[in-house]
Copies of this chain bind each other. A is one copy, B any other.
Amino acid sequence: MLETLNVVGARMPLPEAYEKATGRATYCSTMRLPGMLVGKVLRSPHPHARVAKVDYSKAESLPGVAAVVSGQDVKSKVYTKNVMTYQLPGGEIQDMTLFGDRVRYKGDEVAAVAAVDEPTARRALSLIEVEYEVLPAVFTVDDAIAEDAPVIHDFAPDNTPVSAVPTFCYGDAAKAFEESAVVAGGWYTTSKQIQAGMESAACVADYQHGKLTVWSQSQLPHMAKRMLAHVLDLPEADVRVIQPYAGAGFGAGCDLNAEPIAAVLAMKAGAPVQVWYSRDEDFNNRLTREHVAKVHMRVGLAADGTPKALEAHYWGDAGSYMCKTASGCGVALASNITPYEWEAMDQKLSATYTNHVGGGAMRGFGGMQSSFVRETIVDEAIAQLGMDPIEWRMKHHRNVGGLGWFPSARITSCALEECLTIGAERIGWKEKWNKPQSGTKRRGVGVACMAWLSGAQPMLLEHSNATLKFNADGSATLLVSPGRVGQGVEGALAQIAAEVLTIPYERINVIAGDTDITGFDIGTHASRGVYCIGKAVLAAATEAKEQFLQRAAEKLGLSNDTLVLEDGVISSTADQNCFVTLEEIALGLIYGFEHDCNQIVAHATVEPEDFAPPWQAGFAEVEVDIETGVVEVVKWITVHDIGRAINPSTVEGQLEGATCQGMGFALFEDPVISLSDGYMLTDGFDKYKIMSSVDLPDHEAILVEMGDPSGPFGAKSVGEAGLFLQAPAIANAIYDAVGIRLRDLPMTPERVLAAIQAKEAGV
């Protein structure tokens, strides 16, 4: 059992809950600046073409139009919307230019206008005359790698700039497969998915006197700033990225959207410009979970169950620009490593260009494809050996000191066995698993496991800064820079600081969301907020505490090590009547009439080195209608090894929200792309159903708190962790119910029914 703390571990409301619930929170889409113009983007009607000529003279002379921009207005710097490129040594492939002379998907950016209102902006778009030289286009990986396929980027004549690159391999896989008693696997496809935030893509840009301010939904504001400075050729000091509240992130904020366009419009118009995507524009032009096209995976187990080999090839469909496709496949491969003790692993990745919008980051990036494929194949192999899938997992998972995602990463803590034990008990595994079923509706239970990360160190750069600044009354301002996507991390960071300083939570005021005022931060992604930024806050608070102790020692005429801080009071361990409050010290230093002014300001930089994986077991009970193929999830249980829940309410909230997204991924979400032009057929919530909280089956989120030696107060991550296991656990439960194995997501009634019928037909 972990020691009970005062502020850490308390159930706190989200700091922004009140403003959001009362409609007072401001978003990029709802903000209004004086004189603000409406920006609209002219998009290519062709999936692949050369832009021979753009004539916007008619649009420019339309009354109410303040600015029109196209390729002739901007220096064409090569860039990528993927601002995470700066996190990678060497960066990622940069293959875009703003308003370039070539369009590569239906919707690609050709020009843009800023006008006094939306009708005028739309009318202006219709007045822009563009001459296109249409080129042949391809929409699937298979077509793009065919011999005579059109070349989408000249530097990659085979459309596959990343081709079967070995990644995270060790041991002799061929030999390990030979020694295996059972081998399972094959080709798999997984769901694409839309982030589906309540707020579609939106941003506002304003340029005054050489300084650009961009209000953005970016989850990585400091790196968005750097990319904007790069694209627009400005010093970073002249670019300020501000985050109002965001109507969800889910990874959509890891890439730029219309920020560069809003910026060039604002620079030309001399007024603030808001670009706010319509819902269909958002579906068709924002980068979603499209990165993995297909997966080939095989695993081999020895007769006693020993994991021998895992072999995989993740093949990404990059769409028109590479963005995160290769790295998404890379994360999939990396996340295959940790759960189990394979004797050998042989993994590789490819990424191919096609003519649709392409993939970006989405919550559970890469891990969604790894967990579904791996956990169902492993389940299949275990079943062939006649073993209990829970017992097998209890025995063969990696453990503390074992291999993390990267060659140099070692697991710091693991509570998977506790997760499995608690979940098995709760779902009634013994009573329900592997029981004969009959009738139309058949029930089964399934399990799946995973180990995710708490920031991508030590492979990726995970740099965070935190500053604590004390007021004269001993209250403090905490300056940090997570991406603000509603995840509640700001409150958790305040809890960490308050715990160290032994002061009430309410006395820590968190300021975030503005690159000009906060220290550098990689932002919010890779489930890093509480762990990585939390470590920076912990370090800053500890440094502040040291400063207070030092000042108290001077004031009391004692040495530091004879002092103790409790409830905001520093006292002598020897004499309780000898004390000074933090408030007295802070006041004395700010209003320092003895000329010892020195406001207590503590700053910390961290770049964590440890690999602290949160572990998780997911349990599904399903009822499969063998006449319709409809799968009803009767019960869902997530048991999560959080290390320590800084704020249990928000941890549970993350897991419950993720359960919605994970079920959608498993059962029905999958945007449909037209094979005639690459455009999305399901471009609105009327055509693309997401699971809402009212659709959700009976579900539970259970936290296991054993502590992690490297995390702040023992905390590991939760951000993405809740949505990996629905697909594989439900698939495994379907197998338990009706004996079929599904290799393609989502598991729609059509697919389930077809598999049942094929099984009955003995196919």
Give complex CA distance A507, B210 in Å.
11
State how many angstroms separate the Cβ of A676 from the closest Cβ of chain B. Answer: 43
Q: Which of A43-51, A146-154, A592-600, A711-719 contacts B (4 or more CB under 8 A)?
A: A592-600
B595 touches A458 (CB 8 A): yes
Who on chain B is nearest to A211 by CB? B509
Known: A18-B209, A19-B209. A516 touches B477 (CB 8 A): yes
Task: Kindly identify which residue among B226, B591, B597 contacts A86, using a CB–CB cutoff of 8 Å.
Answer: B591
Task: Kindly identify which residue among B32, B210, B469 contacts A519, using a CB–CB cutoff of 8 Å.
Answer: B469
Contacts of A593 in B (CB 8 A): 89, 461
For residue A502, CB closer than 8 A to chain B, the reply is no
Interface size of A by CB at 8 A reads 62
Interface string of A94-110 (1 = CB under 8 A from B): 00000000000000000
Task: Kindly identify which residue among B508, B509, B599 contacts A463, using a CB–CB cutoff of 8 Å.
Answer: B599
Considering only residues 577-630 of chain A, those with a C-beta below 8 Å from chain B are 590-593, 595-599, 601, 603, 605-607, 609
For residue A511, CB closer than 8 A to chain B, the reply is yes
A506 touches B18 (CB 8 A): no
For residue A653, CB closer than 8 A to chain B, the reply is no
B597 touches A237 (CB 8 A): no
Known: A590-B463, A603-B601. A209 touches B472 (CB 8 A): no
For residue A675, CB closer than 8 A to chain B, the reply is no
Query: Which residues of A line the B interface, CB within 8 A?
Result: 15, 17-19, 24, 26, 32, 34-35, 86-87, 89, 208-211, 225-226, 229, 235-238, 240, 458, 461, 463, 465, 467, 469, 471-473, 475-477, 479, 506-509, 511, 514, 516-517, 519-520, 590-593, 595-599, 601, 603, 605-607, 609
Give complex CA distance A275, B225 in Å.
36
B507 touches A235 (CB 8 A): yes
Task: Kindly identify which residue among B35, B237, B595 contacts A607, using a CB–CB cutoff of 8 Å.
Answer: B595
Who on chain B is nearest to A88 by CB? B593
Contacts of A605 in B (CB 8 A): 597-599, 601
Give complex CA distance A471, B18 in Å.
34
A597 touches B603 (CB 8 A): no
B606 touches A597 (CB 8 A): yes
Give complex CA distance A75, B607 in Å.
48
B236 touches A472 (CB 8 A): yes
Give complex CA distance A402, B284 in Å.
76
State how many angstroms separate the Cβ of A706 from the closest Cβ of chain B. Answer: 28
A sample of 14 cross-chain residue pairs with beta-carbon separation below 8 angstroms, ordered by A number, consists of A19-B209, A86-B591, A87-B591, A226-B471, A226-B473, A235-B506, A235-B507, A236-B473, A238-B509, A461-B592, A469-B519, A509-B516, A520-B590, A597-B605
State how many angstroms separate the Cβ of A241 from the closest Cβ of chain B. Answer: 12
Contacts of A520 in B (CB 8 A): 472, 590, 599
B597 touches A461 (CB 8 A): yes
Give complex CA distance A210, B592 in Å.
29
Most buried by B among A89, A208, A235, A237: A237
B477 touches A237 (CB 8 A): yes
Give complex CA distance A236, B587 in Å.
11
Contacts of A35 in B (CB 8 A): 24
Who on chain B is nearest to A25 by CB? B208
Who on chain B is nearest to A235 by CB? B475
Contacts of A596 in B (CB 8 A): 607
Who on chain B is nearest to A508 by CB? B237
State how many angstroms separate the Cβ of A492 from the closest Cβ of chain B. Answer: 17
B461 touches A591 (CB 8 A): yes
State how many angstroms separate the Cβ of A711 from the closest Cβ of chain B. Answer: 18
Contacts of A592 in B (CB 8 A): 461, 463, 607
Contacts of A209 in B (CB 8 A): 15, 17-19
Give complex CA distance A89, B507 in Å.
26
Contacts of A463 in B (CB 8 A): 590-592, 597, 599
Contacts of A603 in B (CB 8 A): 601, 603
Task: Kindly identify which residue among B237, B509, B511, B597 contacts A471, using a CB–CB cutoff of 8 Å.
Answer: B237
Contacts of A208 in B (CB 8 A): 18-19, 24
Contacts of A508 in B (CB 8 A): 237
Give complex CA distance A161, B738 in Å.
93
Give complex CA distance A229, B593 in Å.
21
